[in-house]
Amino acid sequence: MIRIAALIALSSVAIAAPMKWGGKLMPQGGTSVAGSVSVEPGSSASSTHATVTITGGEAGVTYPWHVHSGKCGDNGAVVGQAGAYTPIKIGKDGNGKVDVTLPFAIPDNGAYYVNIHKSATDMGTIVSCGNLSMAM
């Protein structure tokens, strides 16, 4: 009887799933740059794994990107250090992807978005943006 009670108690314990954020990148400012983003805990408690995929980019261009606090259009602060984000290189087909480990822990609440910037010399021009939402 005690074993059955223990099994029932263990089966009702909620196991916390790792936090994963996802979003769809939408073209901005008349561009055709779109894509998707996934952000989840990295291999350590102080790292984050991010994947950003772009379509409709200009061949040969390198796009900087960052996770920001807030939602698209807010001009929120960059999450972590801006220099930690590996830019996305666009191939001849207009597509690009970056799969990177960032040296900070993923946020577990709040509002966040990803901006894709036109270039390292024109960070003020946003070519694509996507709000992140918690994915379970």
The answer on pLDDT for 58 being more than 50 is: yes
Residue 135's pLDDT is what? 79
The answer on pLDDT for 24 being more than 90 is: yes
Residue 46's pLDDT is what? 92
Residue 85 to residue 98: CA distance in whole angstroms: 9
Residue 14 to residue 10: CA distance in whole angstroms: 9
Beta strands in the chain (DSSP E): 20-27, 34-41, 48-55, 62-63, 65-69, 88-89, 96-102, 112-119, 122-135
22 pLDDT band (50/70/90 cuts)? very high
The answer on pLDDT for 61 being more than 90 is: yes
Phi, psi values for residue 61, rounded to 5°: -85, 150
Per residue in 68-126, pLDDT tens?
999 999 999 999 999 999 999 999 999 999 999 999 988 888 999 999 999 999 999 99
Phi, psi values for residue 50, rounded to 5°: -130, 140
Residue 18's pLDDT is what? 60
Contact 78, 123 (CB under 8 A): no
Segments making up each domain of the chain, as ranges: 18-135
Per residue in 26-45, pLDDT tens?
999 999 999 999 999 999 98
Q: pTM surpassing 0.75? A: yes
Contact 35, 55 (CB under 8 A): yes
- Please give the CATH architecture assigned to the domain spanning 18-135: Sandwich (2.60)
Residue 54 to residue 85: CA distance in whole angstroms: 15
Residue pointed to by tokens 């894709």: 116
The answer on pLDDT for 67 being more than 50 is: yes
Helix (H, G, I), strand (E, B), or coil: what is residue 53?
strand
Contact 131, 71 (CB under 8 A): yes
